[in-house]
Amino acid sequence: MNAGIDAISFYTSRYYLDLKTLGHARGVDPAKYTKGLGQEKMGVVPPDEDIVTLGASAAKPLMDRTRMEDIELLLFATESGIDQSKAAGLFVHGLLGLSPRCRVVELKEACYAGTAALRLAASLMARTPGKKALVIASDIARYELGSPGEPTQGCGAVAMLVCANPAILALDEEAGFHAEDVMDFWRPNYRDEALVDGKYSTRVYLQTAVNCWTQYGERSGRKPEDFARFCYHLPFTQMARKAHAQILRASGGPTDAETVARGIQEGLGYNRVTGNTYSASLYEGLASLLDGCEADLAGHRLGFFSYGSGSMGEFFSGVVQPGYQQHLLTQHHRKLLESRTELSFQAYEDIFNLKVPTDGWDYVFAQYCTGPYRFGGVGGHKRRYEEVS
């Protein structure tokens, strides 16, 4: 199969909280967050942004790079669903003005759904040369105030165009996967915040990474030295260090800090300043790697570990394509991250605690700084989205 990622775009909200501010407010040594978890800032989503506006804003820059009528599939991956029935992707379809001749569906399996969407899109597009799929992974990571998960919150979306003969990354056929019915992290329908058995979740993540890598190795015959870099699902960046060390250990290779860092370092930069973006985080890591790696990765193989609590994991790989640099949105991503507004602790808590009425009557949101789209309000139980002029 020669199909994969033709274009990749990342978007996060225009606001963040510095984790040093959070540490001081919670009476926690900020080094626990910056060194222990490996996080500096967390993206905070204002009331007038949600997974639809995050996803549509990620996808918008890609629309200039393709003919709308060539997009015949839109897969929207999220675990921050806004409706039990209607796919969030249909709101995005409307905002972007995509062709009616486009299948649209929403996928869920915690943070793994973005990978399910990418792999599904690639196998369909391999059979329809000239056509494209738009894959969007969009999430808002939200834990209870004061809980251990709080410093790992974040928000963001990644949009990818997927097609045959892609310009950026051609996916390999081989994959290793592992599914298991566990309760490490979940969010019942009646809750806004995730529940998590934090330490257990990290153990399941690590064991799943080794299981997936082992099966991938059996199928492909590849070893760690066959990869230029690895990207991991990033609930926080130290998780990737632990997982990469486990995979190297399972392969009998060196696991010193320098070797581990060499394999993953450039992929951690964006997550470190946005926090967890759940289904988008692996692909945010890929954007960070491609934008930030000084070495030319063309012709080199990248390894990916995707993890969704509950749990589902997959290790897969792809080969970076010649000339990929010309297809990146590096400056756009950097400007986006540099131009965010820092929130005070009080402003962060006020946004977190804002309760939107659920009676379905007219509700209009105050206007915050957003990307090209905003969630304007609700009327008659219908969500209303707007373009920002």
Q: Which is nearer to ligand CAA, 123 or 202 (CB)?
A: 202
Of 12, 78, 115, 201, which lies in the binding site for ligand CAA, with binding defined by CB under 6 A?
A: 201
Question: Is position 22 an interface residue for ligand CAA (rule: CB under 6 A)?
Answer: no
At CB < 8 A and 24+ separation, what contacts does 187-196 make? 187/79, 189/84, 192/142, 193/142, 193/143, 193/144, 193/147, 194/141, 194/142, 194/143, 194/149, 196/143, 196/149, 196/309
Q: Which is nearer to ligand CAA, 197 or 386 (CB)?
A: 197
- Provide the Cα torsion 258, 264, 267, 269; round to 10°: -30
Enumerate the β-bridge partners of residue 229. Answer: 302
Q: Which residues ranging from 1 to 20 are in contact with ligand CAA (CB under 6 A)?
A: none
Q: Does residue 298 sit in helix, strand or coil?
A: coil
Which amino acid is residue 191, in one-letter code?
Answer: R
Tokens encoding 12: 């996060």
Of 112, 230, 278, 315, which lies in the binding site for ligand CAA, with binding defined by CB under 6 A?
A: 278
- Binding-residue pattern over the window 208 to 247 for ligand CAA, x denoting contact by CB under 6 A: -------------------------x-xx--x--------
* Minimum distance from residue 346 beta carbon to ligand CAA (Å): 23
Q: Which is nearer to ligand CAA, 233 or 272 (CB)?
A: 233
Q: Which is nearer to ligand CAA, 13 or 34 (CB)?
A: 34
233: CB partners within 8 A, 6+ apart = 111, 112, 205, 239, 281, 282, 285, 305, 306, 307, 308
- Give yes or no for a contact between 38 and 264, defined as CB atoms under 8 angstroms apart: no
* Minimum distance from residue 189 beta carbon to ligand CAA (Å): 18
Would you give the end-to-end CA distance of the chain in angstroms?
42
Tokens encoding 134: 């738009």
Question: Is position 202 an interface residue for ligand CAA (rule: CB under 6 A)?
Answer: yes
**φ and ψ of 302, to 5 deg:** -110, 145
DSSP calls for 61-98? GGGGGS-GGGEEEEEEE-SS-S-SSS-HHHHHHHHHT-
Which amino acid is residue 32, in one-letter code?
Answer: K
Q: Which residues are catalytic?
A: 79, 111, 233
Omega within 30 of 0 (cis) for the link into 311? yes
* Minimum distance from residue 41 beta carbon to ligand CAA (Å): 15
Of 307, 315, 365, 373, which lies in the binding site for ligand CAA, with binding defined by CB under 6 A?
A: 307
Q: Which is nearer to ligand CAA, 3 or 243 (CB)?
A: 243
Q: Which is nearer to ligand CAA, 81 or 198 (CB)?
A: 198
- Binding-residue pattern over the window 107 to 146 for ligand CAA, x denoting contact by CB under 6 A: ----x-----------------------------------
* Minimum distance from residue 136 beta carbon to ligand CAA (Å): 18
* Minimum distance from residue 234 beta carbon to ligand CAA (Å): 8
Binding residues (CB under 6 A) for ligand CAA: these are: 29, 31-32, 35-37, 111, 148-149, 152, 184-185, 196, 198-199, 201-202, 205, 233, 235-236, 239, 276, 278, 307, 309
